[in-house]
Amino acid sequence: MATRPPRPNRPSAADDVRTGTSVEAWKRSVNENLLYGLGRVPVVATRNDKYLAVAMSVRDRLLKRWIHSGETYYRNEARTVCYLSAEFLLGPHLGITLLNLGGYDELEQALREEGEDLDVIIDQEEEPGLGNGGLGRLAACYLDSLATLRIPSIGYGIRYEFGIFDQVIRDGWQAEITDKWLQYGNPWEVPRPEIAFPVKFGGHTEHYQDQAGRNSVRWVAGREVKGVAYDTPIVGYRVNNANLLRLWKSEAAESFDLGAFNEGDYWGAVEAKVRSENITKVLYPNDVQLRGKVLRLEQQHFFVSCSLQDMIRIFLQRDSDLSRLHEKYATQLNDTHPAIGVAELMRLLVDEHGLEWDVAWNTTRKMFGYTNHTLLPEALEKWPVSLFGELLPRHLEIVYEINRRFLDEVRERFPGDEERIRRMSLIDEDGGRFVRMAHLACVGSHAINGVAALHTELLKRDVLGDFNDLWPEKFSNKTNGVTPRRFVALINRGLKKLLDEAVGDGWLSDLELLRGIEPLASDAAFRETWRRVKRQNKEALCREIAQKTGVVADPASLFDVQVKRIHEYKRQHLNLLHVVTLYRRLKRGGAAGVAPRTVIFGGKSAPGYRMAKLIIRAIHGVAEVVNGDPELRDRLKVVFLPDYNVKNCQRIFPAAELSEQISTAGKEASGTGNMKFGLNGAVTIGTLDGANVEILDAVGEDNFFLFGLTASQVAEKLRNGYVPWRYYEEDVELKDALDQLASGAFSRGDASLFQPLVDSLLNHDPFLVLADYRAYLDCQGEVSRAYQDEERWTRMSILNTARMGRFSSDRAIRDYCRDIWHVEPVDVDLDAHLLGSR
């Protein structure tokens, strides 16, 4: 290793088999990993064996940085960010790790000389789908940026054995398949069986006086499991820092097994083991039907308890005064999933480590920050008090005590305002009693933030308005961002090359540098090249579409794309109504001069969300008719790309030209796909919702297709009694489109199939699809006109990319570091001697 003094016959550092970067070193490394890491000889090695050998070779190079980083942080007693998140939607590691480390070209050459193709090997990787969508992917982008910005940090989460389900389409319907991402091994994780913590559930509490005569509480648990750490190194872009992602797996606690064995209850012991392991078995899809699922609360408590115990363990290596824990750690709650941490940290500090309540509370509040990611009331977590108390009896007592003291504070500030007390209480008493996790997170944090400017304003006004009245200084906005490493450099090599040539490659770590291409928007030759890159990306996507769906799309048509989870508030059905109307116009011959389009959808529905599943079915129904209609002669195609995930998005963003961001204003907290599209040169058609508002501000109204009601207009309409039926009756095209859906025209004559969808739109339409239909159609007309002016469209596309700088996750992380976490970068020196080494 480089940390040892060189021996006389030692090969040069570049040739070192574990850490070297020469072509020779890579070759030997891959071969040795194949032989000695996997026990395979090259002639019988499968493609997956080769992938594993390459991944292990890259991991060797990663581990060197990781070990040095851990050691440097320890030596410096560095203040550390702990990002607590139930989801990390990482995507495949190999490509991004190579990009960040450097060495792609040498490895590619080494493999080529052995007759292998690096891209094929990269494509072999099964992604860890440990998240549902935007929230989990945001956490992954933030890990990438934390490492790149050299911030000591730990991501803490759950090592789900089954991640988000794989989506397959059968007869136009979504079907779910379990995601067996671990079945062929995961070369990126390092199991740490020695880092394990007990986590208790159930039972009861006992109040007693300790030796010093203080009132104390003992929690006598009903059962106990063990959380074991699995570590994944996350390396930053072209820096030596490699940070830690620590995911917890649940196992049976031996002590409990033993008890059962002694009583001769073998099956009982096995059952307890199985039950323990269940906790981290599967990621819950974000499904309304799953509310109140006790296993989910178990998951939350499990990973948060392990993480906090781990933080305390690390802290105690250097310090003994736990009241200073917040000086060592800035801990972020990614939504309310880890909010139980507020009560758990109190329990650990007071019950297990003997701190006074007030001291512990001061530390706890200074430790946590809370990020809210949703305004949808049905997505705000609350747990029935009975369930909560049965699973976590001690935590319920602590929540009550926090609440008692908190409500006293509120009473003092707002005397006599009992209505406010009722609204703010940690316990919801409106019909059934529930623990409100968002309130627990607010009370236990020193900082609360939303994820886009509009979202934060609405949070402060509505959902958390009372908390804003009480503690306005706690609130701030932190607009989301995405990593340009994965979402441009890795997936759009053509664009990367063009950008590098135009402004140098500094934009990868300073995205504002993309501004440098603005003047080139008026350079005809540059526009030509820009179009060529987009065209190649579209052709690549066409091949994928053909291969996955059998649809032949025309790469010269406008690629109009909506990819994201399927949800009524995101309004894929509004998009679909536009498609139906366009189709009807084309059939009537009334669409002369309309730009040919390929409308591409992708996204998973929660398994129990009937309306979303019906929307997927409707997209397929419309696609079948439209794509099969010879009269249209390629002027319209509809595609549903199955199993949208981090891996499958990589051909989509680079090829997109129109980005559909059409949620009902006031519903999408931020969106991050909108940023990925913009970065790759797609122009947005969107409402004033989430981060669209800021994207519009950044790119300018000439480069954005804006339509629809604003958040306040939406609220007003709903207040005044919205009648969707009226829009249906007054707009012939809308009526026609809905009638067509209801008639069976897109369901092989089955008029009942889409009835629930049509009924819901006509009678309720909670997301104002009908109210926005006309504005959306008109706006799509403008899109079509703009697209036919090739030079104008290219200019818009270039300016979208050029002005996306502020949507880098590096900017977002800098904001968090400056305003909430107060942490500083730490340099890692790879030549430093490791502790304990000679």
Q: Catalytic: which of 460, 564, 620, 637? A: 564
Burial of residue 469 (number of CB atoms within 10 Å: 0-12, 13-18, 19+)? middle
Our CB check for ligand NBG shows the closer of 141 and 579 to be: 141
The two tokens of residue 263 are 């009583």
Neighbours of 109 (CB within 10 A): 15
Site string for ligand NBG, 13-52 (x = CB under 6 A): ----------------------------------------
Judged by CB under 6 A, which of 159, 273, 328, 373 binds ligand NBG?
A: 373
Which amino acid does the sequence have at 553? A
Which amino acid does the sequence have at 350? V
Q: Are 164 and 179 in contact (CB under 8 A)?
A: yes
Task: Restricting to residues 121-160, name those near ligand NBG by CB under 6 A.
Answer: 133-135, 138
Minimum Å gap between C-beta 703 and ligand NBG is: 22
Our CB check for ligand NBG shows the closer of 107 and 669 to be: 669
The 3-state DSSP class for residue 820 equals helix
The Cα–Cα gap between 448 and 128 comes to 29
Per rule CB under 6 A, is residue 669 in the interface with ligand NBG?
Answer: yes
For 185, residues 6+ apart whose C-beta sits below 8 A from its C-beta are 52
The two tokens of residue 181 are 């991402």
Judged by CB under 6 A, which of 393, 690, 708, 805 binds ligand NBG?
A: 690
Nearest CA among 139, 141, 93, 102 for reference residue 239: 102
Candidates 325-333, 372-380, 483-491, 512-520; binding stretch for ligand NBG (CB under 6 A): 372-380
Our CB check for ligand NBG shows the closer of 389 and 481 to be: 481
The dihedral over CA atoms of 461, 708, 693, 566, expressed in degrees to the nearest 10, equals 90
Neighbours of 324 (CB within 10 A): 12
Nearest CA among 767, 807, 792, 803 for reference residue 670: 807
Is 565 annotated in the active site? yes
The DSSP H or E segment spanning 499 is helix 493-503
Our CB check for ligand NBG shows the closer of 25 and 451 to be: 451
Our CB check for ligand NBG shows the closer of 226 and 570 to be: 570
Candidates 45-53, 551-559, 664-672, 727-735; binding stretch for ligand NBG (CB under 6 A): 664-672
Q: 191 has which bridge partners?
A: 230
Candidates 221-229, 307-315, 663-671, 822-830; binding stretch for ligand NBG (CB under 6 A): 663-671
Q: What does DSSP assign to residue 432?
A: S
Per rule CB under 6 A, is residue 498 in the interface with ligand NBG?
Answer: no
3-state secondary structure 513-539: HHHHHHHHHHCHHHHHHHHHHHHHHHH
Minimum Å gap between C-beta 139 and ligand NBG is: 9
Per rule CB under 6 A, is residue 451 in the interface with ligand NBG?
Answer: yes
Q: For residue 763, what are the CA distances in angstroms to 722, 748, 816? A: 10, 25, 44
Per rule CB under 6 A, is residue 529 in the interface with ligand NBG?
Answer: no
Our CB check for ligand NBG shows the closer of 451 and 464 to be: 451
Our CB check for ligand NBG shows the closer of 439 and 496 to be: 439
Is 373 annotated in the active site? yes
Per rule CB under 6 A, is residue 671 in the interface with ligand NBG?
Answer: yes
Minimum Å gap between C-beta 135 and ligand NBG is: 3
Q: Catalytic: which of 371, 456, 529, 672? A: 672
The Cα–Cα gap between 344 and 808 comes to 34
Per rule CB under 6 A, is residue 379 in the interface with ligand NBG?
Answer: yes
Judged by CB under 6 A, which of 374, 477, 483, 692 binds ligand NBG?
A: 374
Minimum Å gap between C-beta 332 and ligand NBG is: 12
- Count of residues interacting with ligand NBG (CB under 6 A): 16
Is 676 annotated in the active site? yes
Q: Are 740 and 812 in contact (CB under 8 A)?
A: no
Minimum Å gap between C-beta 31 and ligand NBG is: 42
Per rule CB under 6 A, is residue 668 in the interface with ligand NBG?
Answer: yes
The 3-state DSSP class for residue 825 equals coil
Candidates 408-416, 425-433, 669-677, 721-729; binding stretch for ligand NBG (CB under 6 A): 669-677
Our CB check for ligand NBG shows the closer of 393 and 603 to be: 603
Q: 242-252 and 204-209: which strand pairing?
A: unpaired
Minimum Å gap between C-beta 604 and ligand NBG is: 13
Nearest CA among 160, 129, 134 for reference residue 278: 160
Minimum Å gap between C-beta 567 and ligand NBG is: 9
Judged by CB under 6 A, which of 300, 332, 645, 672 binds ligand NBG?
A: 672
Q: Helices 254-262 and 266-278 sit at what angle, rounded to 10 degrees?
A: 160
Is 496 annotated in the active site? no
Minimum Å gap between C-beta 618 and ligand NBG is: 22
Our CB check for ligand NBG shows the closer of 379 and 723 to be: 379
Q: 83 has which bridge partners?
A: 155, 332
Site string for ligand NBG, 456-485 (x = CB under 6 A): ------------------------x-----
Our CB check for ligand NBG shows the closer of 52 and 135 to be: 135
Q: 88 has which bridge partners?
A: 130
Per rule CB under 6 A, is residue 568 in the interface with ligand NBG?
Answer: no
Is 564 annotated in the active site? yes
Backbone φ, ψ for residue 434 (5° rounding): -135, 145
Task: Restricting to residues 628-657, name those near ligand NBG by CB under 6 A.
Answer: none
Instruction: Report the sign of the C-alpha dihedral through residues 609, 610, 611, 614, in that order.
Output: positive
Site string for ligand NBG, 730-749 (x = CB under 6 A): --------------------
Q: Which residue is nearest to ligand NBG (CB)?
A: 134
Candidates 105-113, 511-519, 591-599, 670-678; binding stretch for ligand NBG (CB under 6 A): 670-678
The Cα–Cα gap between 329 and 385 comes to 30
Our CB check for ligand NBG shows the closer of 314 and 813 to be: 813
Q: Catalytic: which of 328, 455, 565, 647? A: 565
Q: Catalytic: which of 64, 337, 347, 373? A: 373
Minimum Å gap between C-beta 262 and ligand NBG is: 46
Our CB check for ligand NBG shows the closer of 368 and 583 to be: 368
The Cα–Cα gap between 224 and 215 comes to 25
Neighbours of 752 (CB within 10 A): 9
Q: Are 728 and 770 in contact (CB under 8 A)?
A: yes
Minimum Å gap between C-beta 376 and ligand NBG is: 8
Candidates 179-187, 407-415, 638-646, 668-676; binding stretch for ligand NBG (CB under 6 A): 668-676
The 3-state DSSP class for residue 682 equals coil
Per rule CB under 6 A, is residue 661 in the interface with ligand NBG?
Answer: no
Longest dimension (CA), the chain: 90
Backbone φ, ψ for residue 740 (5° rounding): -60, -45
Q: Helices 23-32 and 47-76 sit at what angle, rounded to 10 degrees?
A: 110
Our CB check for ligand NBG shows the closer of 54 and 135 to be: 135
Minimum Å gap between C-beta 436 and ligand NBG is: 16
The Cα–Cα gap between 538 and 321 comes to 59
Per rule CB under 6 A, is residue 335 in the interface with ligand NBG?
Answer: yes
Per rule CB under 6 A, is residue 57 in the interface with ligand NBG?
Answer: no
Q: Which residues of 595-629 are buried (b: 16+ CB within 10 A; e: fewer)?
A: bbbbbbbbbbbbbebeebbbbbbbbbbbbebbbee
The DSSP secondary structure of 165-214, one letter per residue, reads: PEEEEETTEEEEE---TTTT--TT-EEEEEEEEEEEESSEEEEEE-TTS-
Q: 789 has which bridge partners?
A: none
| Catalytic positions | 373, 564-565, 570, 672, 676
Which residues bind to ligand NBG, rule: CB under 6 A? 133-135, 138, 335, 373-374, 379, 451, 480, 668-672, 690
